[in-house]
Structure 1
Amino acid sequence: MTADEPISKQTAHARIVENGVVGIVRGVDPDRTIEVVDALVEGGVDTVEITADTAGVLDTLGAVASTFDRSEALVGAGTVLDSETARAVLLAGASFVVTPSFDPGVVETCNRYGAVVAPGVQTPTEAVRAHEAGADLLKIFPASSLGPDYVRSLGGPLPQLPLVPTGGVSLDNVEAYVEAGAAAVGVGSSLVDSEAIAAGAYDVLTERAERFRAAVDRARTE
């Protein structure tokens, strides 16, 4: 598969869940984004979300999509608030879309284009409605306000829902989220360290990616 070939929704969904960690790249200089993605991939995190509120995100998505074969890096867009933005990022090269809230129009647009969509939800009602609307994954956000016990409680009566806690996930709690039933986790600053990026210390990102992947694998086998 080359960078120009599309990836099926089923394949993208399987990649996200199999990897278990979605690295969130927010506000990173476009010139550095390719190096950031490369560092994460080297550490084993090959699913990366570039947030739509990052300056020049469409050009950045295009540059990353043309640099990495999709078998190396699966790149999506996050913080997508409306269907217009969803369409724009998908046309720019995003393979999946993540939102901070549930907007039926965004889910509909992603389904129309055959792309994985993970809307942000918090309550059982939001989760069920988003799932029924066609969401592939459910971003539990902000996870820092809810915790692993909430993920476990939500998954108890609703085991069919693929939950992706995001916001406040760290090396200290990632195993607890996975053990609670998370299908994957979204990780921002705990993985994509802005100070390390500013210093050009991309090896720090690679090392953290390795540790997050190891923690997820460990939690899945215990």
Structure 2
Amino acid sequence: MKKIKLVQQIVDGGVVAVLRADSAENVVRMAEQAIAGGIKIIEITMTVPFALQAIETLAKRYSSSDPSAENYAVIGSGTVLDPETARATILAGAEFVVAPCLNPETITLCNRYRVPVMPGVMTIQEIQTALELGADVVKLFPGNLYSPSMIKAIKGPLPQANVMPTGGVSLDNLGEWIKAGAVAVGIGSDLTNEAVKTGDYSTIAAKAAQYIAAYQESKQKQ
């Protein structure tokens, strides 16, 4: 049942912060600011040095058990290329796993431990395979190669697919993706670019608040 609850929390959250940094300490700071700004679904990418330490730190600090709690957040892992890495992140506290591509063994591993897994896909064939393997959500990646109309095209033959575009989603087009049928969106560099350039991490909280407001407005229009 926990897996079902987590998938629902990801969909309800609507916006996933995809965080990359040059150190575990900095990605933790990014996560803290994103959460403060209202984004409660946090993806720590495995390209971050000592990413497992960052996941463990955040998993101990935040809890997914009570969405009304002050310390509520769902911490997951991203850029997971293989089942070995997926298992390591789960042991570190990750509650969902995101991959840039479709790796059947990774999906099998996550299903074994009842952890939501969102593989990266680009084609109808990959989406169908992901669904057959048991993925609840597929990540359309890189999203900047497509327009929101891609979701309508996907849902023609595969109306049961839950699609989350990642890459290229911005404040300007978030509403179009939600209107097209995205169950959630992944936000990466647009959320953190200014903070990385200036060293002022509070800008992440401000940007996160803008994304949450844009998402909520888009949902209200549906």
TM class by smaller structure: over 0.9
User: Could you say what the CA RMSD is over the residues aligned between the two structures, in angstroms?
Assistant: 1.4
Structure 1 partner of 2:79: 79
Mapped pair 1:202 → 2:201: yes
8 Å CA contact 2:82–2:103 kept in 1: the answer is yes
Aligned-residue identity in percent: 39
8 Å CA contact 2:97–2:118 kept in 1: the answer is yes
Matched residue of 2:90: which SS?
Answer: helix
Shift of 1:28: 4.2
Instruction: Give me the whole-angstrom Cα distance separating, in 2, the residues matched to 1:13 and 1:113.
Output: 14
Deviates more, 1:25-34 or 1:54-63: 25-34
List gaps (5 residues or longer) in structure 1.
1-6
Q: Which amino acid aligns with 2:219?
A: R
Instruction: Give me the whole-angstrom Cα distance separating, in 2, the residues matched to 1:111 and 1:171.
Output: 33
Q: Which amino acid aligns with 1:142?
A: P
Instruction: Give me the whole-angstrom Cα distance separating, in 2, the residues matched to 1:154 and 1:192.
Output: 30
Instruction: Give me the whole-angstrom Cα distance separating, in 2, the residues matched to 1:133 and 1:96.
Output: 16
TM-score (norm 2): 0.92
TM-score (norm 1): 0.92
Q: Which amino acid aligns with 2:50?
A: G
Q: Which amino acid aligns with 1:104?
A: P
Structure 1 partner of 2:69: none
Structure 1 partner of 2:12: 18
Change (3 A) 1:114 1:133: same
Shift of 1:217: 1.4
Shift of 1:20: 0.5
**Of 54, 59, 81, which residue of structure 1 is paired with 2:53?**
59
Q: Which amino acid aligns with 1:178?
A: I
8 Å CA contact 1:19–1:45 kept in 2: the answer is yes
8 Å CA contact 2:166–2:186 kept in 1: the answer is yes
8 Å CA contact 1:86–1:106 kept in 2: the answer is yes
Matched residue of 1:159: which SS?
Answer: coil
